[in-house]
Amino acid sequence: SCEHLEGKFSIPGPIELTTVGTIEVGRAPPADVILGVPTVSTRHALIKFDGSQVAVTDLGSTNGTYIDGETMDSMVAYPLPIGSEVVFGDEFLCRFVLLDDENLKTEDSAAVVVDVEILP
């Protein structure tokens, strides 16, 4: 549970990545996706979508980033298979799940949907 942390936390909800590029995940600006959770670093990770796959890179965060329970090395891009779960900072809090790769195979309409949520 997240009882060990005080306060309410803001999260963005589902995110659709519709263009090729990189977005930054963090606790505060300049991050593109802001996860208002104390265990997420200000500049925590990058999510890169190249039109055919999604990859995550931890930016040397204090509390780490995990893919399916495995600790990521800092500054290394990890490709995400569909159904992968990425946790930012605290195993009980911010979860990122790659939900849909249906459009990844079409060249004229590349998109992927990810869900970010606070776990109970």
Give percent of the chain above pLDDT 70: 59
For residue range 48-82, list pLDDT tens digits in order.
Answer: 888 778 899 999 999 999 888 899 999 999 998 87
Which parts of 11-64 are beta strand (E)? 15-17, 21-26, 33-34, 45-49, 54-58
Give percent of the chain above pLDDT 90: 22
pTM passes above 0.85 = no
70: DSSP letter: E
* CATH architecture of the region 15-100: Sandwich (2.60)
Kindly list the domain boundaries of the chain, sorted by start residue. 15-100
Q: How many CA atoms lie within 13 A of 69 on its CB side?
A: 0
Pairing label, strands 21-26, 33-34: parallel
Phi/psi of residue 54, nearest 5 degrees: -110, 140
